[in-house]
Chains A and B, each alone.
Chain A
Amino acid sequence: MTRRPRGSRFLRILLLVLLSAGAGWGETKPSGADNAAVRRKEFALPRKHDSGLSREAKRGRALYEYYCALCHGKQGDADGFNATNLKTPPTRHTDPILMGTLSDAQVQRVIKEGGQALGRSPQMPPWGGVLKSQDLADLTAFIRTLAVPAKK
């Protein structure tokens, strides 16, 4: 029985490592390489689209984006595309101090009867002919999510 020279095992492992590294090195790029290379080779699971909104607020958001965002802005920042055309700028729904002074009933009343109902600008039209009472509640629920209450 011949005695193996010392370190032969180490050398063999080294050889293996080098070989496999070499194989990796010489690997041809996947075809269409420019963008295929960045794609991940992983099994993906569907992710929840959680907006964190209640069902009412979700319905309210759809209405808000359809009717209100044109002036009030999609996020309620008073920056809708029509905002600069108004003589009185639209209410900023992200303003926690201002929104804090309005009760839900007042918010709903302005939407329903227009700005004049609370002695404000007639540029805010009355939506009572379009929106039902559930719509008003949904809208209010969504508008309430826009302003983060000020911390004291």
Chain B
Amino acid sequence: MKRTFVVLSLLILLFLLWQIGKDYNRPYLSYQKAYKRLLAKAGEGEPELAAFPFGARQGWIVGLSRVDRCETCHLGVEEPRVRNAQAPFRTHPDADTHPVESFGCTVCHGGQGLATSLEDAHGPTENWNRAIYHENFLQKSCSLCHGETVGESAPVLSRGREIFYDWGCRGCHKVEGKERKKVGPPIRKIGEKVRTDWLFRWLRNPRGYLPKTRMPDFLLSEQEAADITLLLIPQQIAPGAAPAGSVERGRLVFNESRCVTCHAVEGKGGNIGPDLAKIGSKLRPEGLLPWLRNPHEVMPTTLMPVHNFTEQDVRDLAAFLMAEYTDLELQEDQASRDLKAVSKGNVRNGKALIDKYGCTGCHEIEGVEDRGENGSELTRIGDIHVSRLEFAGVEVPRNRRTVPNWLYNKMREPRLFKGDLKMPDYRFSDEDAEAVTTYLLSLTAEKVPAQYYHPLGERPSGYDPQGDFGKVLEKYRCLVCHRIRGKGGTLAPDLSREGSRIRKEWLRDYLRKPDTIRPILVERMPQMKITDADIQILDAYIRAALLDDKVENLAGEVRGMRLGDPEAVRRGSRLYFEKYACDACHQINLKGGTIGPDLTHSGKRLRPEWVLLWLRNPKAFLPRSVEPVYAFPQREIEDLAAFVLSPKGGKGTP
């Protein structure tokens, strides 16, 4: 009895000592010791080192109701002396804008804030769904406070959002509060427009025809593609005659109109419209005519402007495109083999397939009812529990089974987890798959209190010009490339204050026959045969409404300057060529650099007030300008302005 008592007591004592030892030797202590050594190396004083506080550390972020103990190991988060240290001591790169005491860590990074061991804190663990986010997906958290239109401050998130809405994800997946737009062209009388065998090949492999298309690959079998083709083109229409036009003249019209600004051919050109390299193998010979006459009548949502081609232009252009750009890799008997396959199609199955794959999410299809979204709702996909995601046949170790990883793989290969799913394959690059995943993760019910809400980026613009000007902008699709007051594209100059920059006469001439101001650009203003009446409307509006006070206020000063003085022009010329070497970037009469615009005719093009403002500070007019800010003295500004505005000989001098 006595012996048992002694043994038990000893055992209890040992257990006690073991527990004390275990408690003393917490896993984070090794990190803290290493950090102390790092501090010593960084020159921390002896008394501070002696007082180094070992133990768990935590921050209580009252506003976000979070308690984060990450700093127990990540000790150098706000210590600039260890900024080049390795993880986990590295200094936080955004500590100045996102101080730990106001934000903590987990609100952005995920993970389990209360945990003090690496495994538990970083996850994933059995009972903590939100593992720490991989840095590639981290921008998902930016939208919590900054809104999802955060723009360039979170490029990955922005790219993901852009893909989600522009590539048609919203067509099949509901996201509350987001409008469903059909991003593909409407399909009406498609049999009059395209060749049947092309449609069949297109459905089977869209990238075979257009390597950069946004149309995803539905991995259709030959039979499925035949079923859908037959539904869309139930009756073969006899092929019409090739357009009777002059190929040579068509080539001229093609070049003059600068079609390559939007359409690439053979890899060169813009990407606003589809690549035209194989268009002759896609369209029926007469299918192009109505489109070239007025694309808006065929497809109201197209980005293509009305070119006001004459009937002869239309025929010549069509003849040129059909003759010049055919698919050279297509085998001779391919078309007849494809047609034979299509003839075995089944229209009723085609209809069922359109329902199954949700084609109507992107395309309005004549004669087919749109049944709304047929994919999973994604409003809160960022909050989903990993147990609700099916990994099915794919072996994934538990510590890799996270929501972000699942989504990322789904984006890379939509049918990875199960073969018979309906989601198509967009052939995303790894970067794009990451971007979409990041956007999806940002779709959560999580909210931050008002004091944390700090939207960044450009708000959606409410600019919507009405009346004649609005109609002309629509007709020529000006805002596809140009931007006015926050609305429109970014390919071409922002026109919000164009009336203060350019001279009236020049604008009219330019709209009639757009010249080349920047010699090296591929994307140049297309020539659209804008009618005189439309030019009148554009000119009046630009001159009256698109002005900049900073420029207009200089009118008095300009009147007092002697810009025509030949002596000033001569002095300005010396400054231009010798002192400042402006010709490093600007061309005059084909000599000089090509970074800035050509200045040969700048006297005809630019208003003196604008030149004055620009020479003082280019960034005052255009913050993104690459022109250096020189801070010229006033005398030099006057001389330079005199030179820039003076006639410089060469072609077209008055």
Contacts and interface: CB of A to CB of B under 8 A. Distances in A.
Interface of A: 30-32, 34-36, 39-41, 43-49, 54-55, 66-67, 70-71, 81-82, 85-86, 121-123, 125-127, 129-130
B396 interface: yes
B193 to A, nearest CB: 24
Nearest to A126: B628
What 7 pairs between A and B have smallest CB-CB spacing? A129-B629, A32-B219, A123-B584, A31-B221, A85-B593, A122-B581, A125-B628
Contacts of A46: 134, 136-137, 404-405, 408, 430, 434
9 contacts: A32-B217, A34-B205, A43-B409, A47-B136, A71-B584, A82-B593, A85-B594, A129-B628, A129-B629
Contact of A122 (B394, B425, B579): B579
Nearest to A121: B581
Contacts of A43: 394-396, 400, 405, 409, 416
B207 interface: yes
A125 B576 CA distance: 12
B93 A82 contact: no
B219 A30 contact: yes
B595 A82 contact: yes
Interface in B570-629: 578-581, 584-585, 592-595, 617, 619, 626, 628-629
B205 A82 contact: no
A34 B626 contact: no
Contacts of A129: 617, 628-631
Nearest to A39: B413
Contacts of B629: 129-130
Interface in B218-247: 218-222, 224
**Do most interface residues of chain A lie in helix, strand or loop, or is the interface mixed?**
loop
B84 interface: yes
Given A35-B205, A44-B409, A125-B628, A49 B136 contact: yes
A24 to B, nearest CB: 16
A10 B580 CA distance: 90
Contact of B425 (A36, A47, A121): A36
B302 to A, nearest CB: 28
Contact of B520 (A35, A41, A81, A127): A81
Contacts of B307: none
Given A43-B405, A46-B136, A48-B136, A125 B580 contact: yes
Nearest to B397: A43
Q: Which of the listed residues A40, A46, A86 has the most CB atoms from chain B within 10 Å of its own CB? A: A46
B593 A86 contact: yes
Nearest to A32: B219
B208 interface: yes
B593 A54 contact: no
